[in-house]
Amino acid sequence: MEETIMIRKIIEINEEKCNGCGLCAQACHEGAIGMVNGKAKLLRDDYCDGLGDCLPACPTGAITFVEREAAAYDEAAVLANKEKQHAHPAPAFSGCPGSQVRQFAKHQEDSPSAAPAKTQLSQWPVQIQLAPVNAPYFDQANLLIAADCCAYAYGDFHNQFMKNKITLIGCPKLDPIDYTEKLTEIIKQNEIKSVTVARMEVPCCGGIEAAVKNALQASGKFLPWQVVTISTDGRILD
């Protein structure tokens, strides 16, 4: 059967904005979207019905509608693909690596701790969304901007990362906002001495790194900054 090509409404995915969460692929009932190398991709034009169930699912606004030349929506092909997938199921996990279930071996204590570890948190609030832009603790601060999961994955996070720093945390996958604007104002309005980004290795954590990078550029300030990536099993990768 000859493929019909027409000018029609179809989705477009901005790879730079995509954080790899996989929510759009789950929302697409036609199977038009898949995860490729940690990013959402439109796999086939003729699987996209143009109704946009995936748009509200995207937390970063990476999906938009465009009108372009594309193959017509092929309901028969979609149904055939669904039957094929049902007959030959994909591997158990195909979504965002950050949502993949894993279990790690427990590490034995070398010796009992003499005393409970003390917190190195020096201010409140810690959530990026809640921290006031002009809070006095930002003045002359060494700023740590960390993904929520870091403190749970890395055992000595307080001492090695938070000590002598002002800590802000967030999750670009769960928070339905871009942190860039808030972080830009914090850096602009305060005398920040340095910025450290602590993120997890999963693709969706790239959103917090990108927000900091964009905020630094938008602020017009040249500050020393670094990114530290932590593995899901608690190792520093770089």
Q: Does the predicted model carry a pTM greater than 0.85?
A: no
38, 64, 96: which is the final residue of a domain?
Answer: 96
78 and 153 belong to one structural domain: no
Q: Quick check: is 118 in a domain? A: no
11 and 92 belong to one structural domain: yes
For 1-13, write each residue's pLDDT tens digit: 567 888 999 999 9
Q: Map tokens 């938070």 to a residue.
A: 162
Lowest mean pLDDT among 20-34, 155-169, 219-233: 20-34
* 3-class DSSP assignment, residue 10: strand
| Structural domain harbouring 167 | 136-230
Q: Quick check: is 129 in a domain? A: no
For 107-116, write each residue's pLDDT tens digit: 555 555 556 7
Average pLDDT, the chain: 86
77 and 150 belong to one structural domain: no
What's 79's domain CATH number? 3.30.70.20
69, 96, 123: which is the final residue of a domain?
Answer: 96
Q: Map tokens 């720093």 to a residue.
A: 165
Q: Quick check: is 102 in a domain? A: no
158 and 223 belong to one structural domain: yes
* 3-class DSSP assignment, residue 171: coil
Report strand pairing: 63-71 vs 5-13: antiparallel
Report the pLDDT value the prediction gives residue 95, as an integer from 0 to 100: 53
Q: What is 12-62 written as a DSSP string?
A: EE-TTT-----HHHHH-TTS-EEEETTEEEE--GGG--S--TTTTT-SS--
Count how many domains the chain has: 2
Q: Quick check: is 125 in a domain? A: no
145 and 92 belong to one structural domain: no
84 and 159 belong to one structural domain: no
Q: Quick check: is 237 in a domain? A: no
